[in-house]
Structure 1
Amino acid sequence: MVAMPPALTGDPEGTLTDSAAELSAETHGISPGTAKGADAGGTPIRPQGTPLSANIAKPHVRGAAQKDKIEVKYGPCTPGTANCDGARTGCITQSGDPNYFDPPTVTYVRVNNGPWDAVRVSCGVPDSVTIPGAPSEPPVTVAVEPPPVPTFAQIQTAFKELPFSQPSVSVQPKGMRTLINLPTYYEASWPDDAGLEPGEVSKPVTLLSWTVEFKISARDYRYDFGDDTTSRWTSSAGGTYPDGDVTHTYTDTGDMDVKVDARLTGQYRVNGGTWQDIATTADLQDEPVDTLEVVGTRTRLTS
């Protein structure tokens, strides 16, 4: 068991015990409340079916009678505070794996619609919370449903729905004008706009009880040269003369509608945890089309 810091200044440390609940929710007419925003850092490390209860002995939490309405909810222990950072370290130590641990979670209790009271910090969400009973009453144990967590498929879907930027084509010779029988150099260019592009990290996305961030990277590109030919999918973003490795030589003059298709991938992390591969691809659609004029007069390449 890891000694956890209190949730708020002045809060006493609670005690986590691996004991099953002795009193049922139905007996006491209690409500499990709502689990909101519970922190998550990966797969829980407790074996399935192992009970975990938080015994609360806080003076200003009223004693509960059997017919009192008792509600419990959970919230993330906010990163960046000394209490929560210390708790996170303790939970990782308990797990032994920084990628898979029960993250620090704050337990809140209220009685008979009174104020919510932050009563303790624990590694993960307890299965139950026990508070002292009213005079001559036994302790009351609240069994609480764990907060819902998204599936990996839902995380992948959220990645695909991010507001991505769309690349356009830059060519050399400059000015969107080139010469037949001369290699034309292609490069994928990302606009300076509000959309996400390779190398950037998304704003936090809330998925059920998790907060997820995504780091964007380019998987590959395909260049449409506008003369009924395209490149193969390539990891290269192209470049300029003389080092660019995506080129095309036109054999006919005319206006060519050129563009670059992009597929993005990346990584994700939960509540500031370790980055993990997203293992899926966002295939961008409707990338902008530019017109390249192919002429029969000589054009000089400049770097």
Structure 2
Amino acid sequence: MNGGEWSCTPHPDSCEAGSGEQVSATGDVFNINNSTGSGEPVEGVTQRGTRIDNETGETEDLGIRCALPGTPEYEEAPPVVITVTREDFARMPIEPLQASAGPAEGWLPVHMTNVLHTDAETQELNTELIDTPVAIRATPVSFHWDLGDGNTITTTNPGEPYPSEQVSATYSHEGWYDITLTTTFSGQFSVAGGEWQDIDGTIEITSDPVPIYSKSLESNLVNTDSPVDENGDPWKPERTPETEGPKDPDARHRTI
């Protein structure tokens, strides 16, 4: 020390500060002053935590802790806190839900109830962040149906197959329409088998559209001299610009 004087106080959350001691020295002579009177520091391992942003690589100092003997933390290396952001969640290969609409034949009469439903199962995926296994859980929480004619429905109900009409709609005009389902997912993550933690924010995933033909069943004159295609569907015409359904002038958004 060459006769110099110095003093330091351990970090208040460290093991060395467990007795409130202050270490000082004059020259080569050490002095310990205890503000609590116990005279002994806490036995343990002082650890510093760091949070790492998985996208930018930036680090954040989480401070000091004292890991006591007999606890799992005592044997661990200094902790690295892993978090999963909404952006991480959005990059996961979450499967779009299968949208189901209308009869299996792909057409229905104008003004007939069109039943909408999907199988809203939770998906679980696995990945690694900083060489640590991380499980991601994606749960459907909201469903937005676009009927293709300007009418839309938003609901937290995934619906059920016919004869249920919990989530349903009708068409007012004849023509082809695409029904599109967009699902909102909330997320959770688990690091190395630990407890599930919520991911801040939600993501939206759009399913493949379901084409359906809305058929007017009004009587029409037909040319009896024209050959009948016995293998064709008499109710569904070929999809062309001329057979596309018009927009509903009274279209509206419903929340169910």
Q: TM-score range by the shorter chain?
A: 0.5 to 0.7
2:183 paired with 1:246: no
The aligned length equals 162
Q: Which runs of 5+ in 2 are unaligned?
A: 1-13, 18-61, 219-256
Whether the 8 Å CA contact 2:86–2:203 is kept in 1: the answer is no
Distance 1:297 1:169, change over 3 A: farther
> 1:169 — aligned with what?
99
- Counterpart amino acid of 1:267? Q
Q: Is the aligned partner of 1:265 residue 2:186?
A: yes
- Aligned residue number for residue 180 of structure 1: 110
The 3-state SS of whatever aligns with 1:231 is: strand
Cα separation, partners in 2 of 1:210 and 1:246, compared to 1, 3 Å: same
* Match of residue 134 from structure 2: 212
How has the CA–CA distance of structure 1 residues 274 and 201 changed in structure 2, closer, same or farther, with 3 Å as cutoff? same
Can you list the C-alpha shifts for 1:69-102, whole angstroms capped at 9, x where unaligned? xxxxxxxxxxxxxxxxxx8xx43xxxxxxxxxx4
Cα separation, 2, equivalents of 1:222 and 1:53:
51
Distance 1:274 1:161 in 2: 22
Shift of 1:188: 2.2
Summarize the alignment of residues 117-156 of structure 1 with structure 2, pairs less than 5 Å apart. Answer: 122-125=74-77, 146=78, 148-150=80-82, 152=83, 154-156=84-86
Identity score, percent: 20
CA offset digits 1:105-154 (Å, max 9, x no partner): xxxxxxxxxxxxxxxxx4432xxxxxxxxxxxxxxxxxxxx46544x4x4
Relative to structure 1, the CA distance from residue 50 to residue 246 in structure 2 (aligned partners, 3 Å threshold; closer, same or farther) is closer
Please say which structure displays the higher CA radius of gyration.
2
Which amino acid counterpart does residue 76 of structure 2 have in structure 1? G
Distance 2:124 2:196 in 1: 11
Q: Which one-letter code corresponds to 1:293 in the other structure? A: Y
| 1:93-104 to 2 correspondences below 5 Å | 102=73
**Which residue number corresponds to residue 198 of structure 2?**
277
C-alpha separation in 2, matches of 1:147 and 1:209: 14
Q: CA RMSD in A?
A: 3.1
Q: Secondary structure of 2:115's match?
A: strand
Specify the alignment match of 1:295 in structure 2. 215
Superposition deviation, residue 19 in structure 1: 5.0
- The one of 226, 229, 244 aligned to 2:148: 226
Pair 1:238–1:156, CA change in 2 (3 A): same
Aligned 8 A contact 1:256 1:292 in 2:
yes
Q: Is the 8 A contact 2:101 2:210 kept in 1?
A: no
The runs of 5 or more residues in structure 1 that have no matched partner are 1-16, 21-46, 55-86, 92-101, 103-121, 126-145, 191-197, 299-303
Query: Which one has the bigger strand percentage?
Result: 2
In the superposition, the TM-score normalised over structure 1's length comes to 0.47
Distance 1:181-1:53 versus aligned 2 partners, 3 A rule = closer
